[in-house]
A and B are shown apart, each in its own frame.
Chain A
Amino acid sequence: MIKGKLPFGNARRSGQHRQLDAEGDPGIPAARTSPRPLFSDASAAPESSAWHAEPAVPFAEPEGGKQGGPPQWAPIVVDEPIVDFEPKPPTTNSYRPDTVFDGWSSEYLTVRLASVRGYSHRYSGLPRQDDAVVEFHRGSGAVLFAVADGVSSARQSDVGASTACMTAIATMRRQLDTGRGMDLTYVAEDAARSLTAQAAQMLDQDQVTAAAVEELLATTLVAGYIAPSADGCGGAIIQIGDSSAWILAQDRFYPMLEQKNDPHAEFISSAVSPLPRIPEHLAAVEFSLCSGDALLIGTDGFGDPLGDGEGKVGYLFAENLRRPPPGRGLAHLLDFSRDTFDDDRTLVAVWPRPPKPGVTK
Chain B
Amino acid sequence: MPDTKGHLLPVYILADESASMTICAQELNAGLVSLFEALRAEPMVAAKVRLSILGFSDDVEVRLSLADLRNEEGVPSLKIRNITDYGAAFEDLLTRIPSDIGRLKNSGYLVHRPAVFFLSDGQPSKSGWLEPYGRLTNKATTAAAPNIIACGVGSAKAETILQVATKDEFAFMSKDGADIGVAIAKFFVALTASVVQSGRSLTSANPELVVEKPEGFHMAIDVV
* Chain A residues within CB distance 8 Å of chain B: 79-80, 82-83, 119-120, 123-124, 151-153, 214, 218, 261, 263, 266-274, 277, 304-305, 307-308, 310-313, 338-342
Contacts and interface: CB of A to CB of B under 8 A. Distances in A.
B7 A82 contact: no
Contacts of A270: 112, 195-199, 201, 207
Contacts of B224: none
A102 B110 CA distance: 33
Interface stretch (B16-24, B43-51, B55-63, B83-91): B43-51
A80 B113 CA distance: 24
Contacts of B111: 267-268
Nearest to B201: A271
B43 A271 contact: no
B198 A340 contact: no
Contacts of A338: 6
Interface string B87-118: 00000000000000100000000111100000
A6 to B, nearest CB: 20
Contact of A340 (B3, B5, B203, B205): B5
Contacts, number: 96
Nearest to A242: B198
17 contacts: A83-B47, A83-B70, A152-B197, A153-B197, A261-B110, A266-B101, A266-B144, A271-B204, A272-B202, A273-B202, A277-B202, A307-B1, A307-B3, A308-B1, A310-B3, A311-B3, A313-B4
Contacts of B197: 152-153, 270
Q: Which 9 A-B pairs have the closest CB atoms?
A: A271-B207, A340-B6, A311-B3, A270-B198, A271-B201, A307-B4, A152-B197, A120-B44, A267-B113
Interface residues of B, number: 32
A221 to B, nearest CB: 14
B51 to A, nearest CB: 15
Contacts of B167: none
Contacts of A273: 202-203, 205
B198 A267 contact: no
B47 A267 contact: no
A233 to B, nearest CB: 30
A267 B112 CA distance: 5
Nearest to A149: B198
Most buried by B among A261, A270, A305, A338: A270
A218 B44 contact: no
A218 B2 CA distance: 33
B139 to A, nearest CB: 9
A310 B108 CA distance: 12
Given A261-B110, A268-B110, A272-B202, A304 B143 contact: no
Contacts of A342: 44, 47
B6 A268 contact: no
A153 B203 CA distance: 12
B200 interface: yes
B8 interface: yes
B211 to A, nearest CB: 14
A272 B4 CA distance: 21
B44 A311 contact: no
